[in-house]
Amino acid sequence: MDREELPFNRAQRSFVYRAAKDLDTTASFGSTRDLTPTGSVFFVNCPFPTLATDAATSEPLVIGPHCSHPYAAPSLFNISGMSYGAISKPAVQALSQGAARAGCWLNTGEGGLSPYHLEAGCDLVFQIGTAKYGVRTPDGRLDHDRLREVAALAPVRMFEIKLSQGAKPGKGGLLPGRKVTEKVARIRGIPVGLDSISPNRHVEVDSIPDLLDLITEVRTTTGKPTGIKFVVGAYGWLETLCREILERGTAFAPDFVTVDGADGGSGAAPGALMDSMGLPLRESLPMVIDILERYGLRERVRVIASGKLVTPTDVAWALCVGADFAVSARGFMFALGCIQSMQCNKDTCPTGITTHNPRLQQGLDPAHKSVRVAHYVRNTIHEVEVIAHSCGVREPRELERFHARIVASHGQSVPLDAFYPTLREINQGRDVRPGVSRTQPSGNRE
């Protein structure tokens, strides 16, 4: 049925395809979405919705105010990390050209900076994975000279230190040897034809102080906003991180955090981790925001939501919960023409997106597909604005948790602000979700 397929159903993919082609995304007769299952989210309309004359456009949001080169990010919906190597040359070209057209950022993924990322001059977020591809010394440490060279490039606006990724928390990046071409190997600084396997963590980071030291090191070297990407599993370390930041001073905080859900994707990951490791974004995002809020760091640290956010409903939910930005990878793969053939790790992608086979890439014309990327950004943001206006606010970032409801276990819906417990309430052994009363196990949660 239209809403049964996993990981993305036909209804989700149909929206992206139509939005990317700038076709009519309206529906008729009635929704096929069942609003009764536990966890279903819907928004609450206002009796006096926002008129077009009162609507506002989301203003650029500054990231990294303490940096020499802060970034005023113009778009609330952006392209998440996809490495060159994991995806093809024409795919990177289409994404970079599309990002430039739409005015959003493109995350490089952990595979380093390719010439194709730079061709269109779009805003780039350079991701530093655990293997530090593109900015590594021969022994896998951080190469400061190379880092300065990357930072000197005007399109590179921010640096993201990846601690973990949604599809494989606790495991480094995996690129099968069949996809490690000469060009990929040269950019990453690794041998041709061998599996590219990143360490499980940054070798120099084994504690919260180590992590803040690395953030400071990258930010000081580059002068640009620096943040971290992680999947929440254990969460005590987030409390420790906030306490350490307050001891050192808020200038030492990450400029942003990218919260990736366990429902995130990847080109290659162990099935056991993809199926059963980490918390979904629905649980982890409000938890992280509540922790930052409680320690007075919410305004200092921008929050980016990641993990299966491909439709306006997904993005609007993340903004309601408290995110500043939403990013998507697989949504943009659909915009490029992905048909969910699930062959990303085999170099046999029939649409040319995740293969280096020139014959399979022939149908992926960057000039044509870049237009679809830009359409997808604009149409998604437009429909998020439609939701916001129906809720009675002027623009999407004014959405609050009380603007949405979620179906609880007793079958009735409750506001998001009543549903999500704060971490303090969890630690006190009380769960405030409706219909739930239980004691949390004690012990070290880090």
Which stretch of 81-85, 189-193, 268-272, 387-391 has the lowest confidence by average pLDDT?
268-272
Does residue 98 have a pLDDT over 90? Answer: yes
Spatial contact of 88 and 95, defined as CB atoms under 8 Å apart:
no
Closest CA to 335 of 5, 11, 13, 8: 13
Q: Residue 443: which pLDDT band, with cuts at 50, 70 and 90?
A: very low
CB atoms within 10 A of CB 23: 11
Does residue 46 have a pLDDT over 90? Answer: yes
User: Given this model, what pLDDT does residue 67 score?
Assistant: 96
Does residue 88 have a pLDDT over 90? Answer: yes
CB atoms within 10 A of CB 320: 25
User: Given this model, what pLDDT does residue 176 score?
Assistant: 86
All residues at 6 or more sequence positions from 402 whose CB lies less than 8 Å from its CB, including other chains: 44, 415, 416, 417
User: Given this model, what pLDDT does residue 247 score?
Assistant: 97
Q: What percent of the chain has pLDDT over 90?
A: 71
Does 304 or 424 have the greater pLDDT score?
Answer: 304
User: Given this model, what pLDDT does residue 435 score?
Assistant: 39
Angstrom distances, CA of residue 330 to CA of 102, 211, 307, 317, 321: 17, 29, 9, 18, 22
User: Given this model, what pLDDT does residue 418 score?
Assistant: 86
Does residue 315 have a pLDDT over 90? Answer: yes
Mean pLDDT of the chain: 90
Spatial contact of 112 and 144, defined as CB atoms under 8 Å apart:
no
User: Given this model, what pLDDT does residue 438 score?
Assistant: 36
Spatial contact of 326 and 76, defined as CB atoms under 8 Å apart:
yes
Q: Where are the domains of the chain?
A: 34-427
Q: What percent of the chain has pLDDT over 70?
A: 94
Which stretch of 21-30, 71-80, 219-228 has the lowest confidence by average pLDDT?
21-30
Strands 404-407 and 413-415: antiparallel
Q: What is the pLDDT of residues 102-121, one digit of tens each?
A: 999 999 999 999 999 999 99
CATH architecture of 34-427: Alpha-Beta Barrel (3.20)
Q: What is the pLDDT of residues 126-170, one digit of tens each?
A: 999 999 999 998 888 899 999 999 999 999 999 999 999 887 787
- DSSP states of 256-300: EEEEE-TT---SS--HHHHHHSS--HHHHHHHHHHHHHHTT-TTT
Task: Calculate the CA dihedral of residues 428, 431, 437, 441 and round it to 10 degrees.
Answer: -50
**What's the sign of the alpha-carbon dihedral 29, 33, 35, 41?**
negative
User: Given this model, what pLDDT does residue 62 score?
Assistant: 97
User: Given this model, what pLDDT does residue 421 score?
Assistant: 62
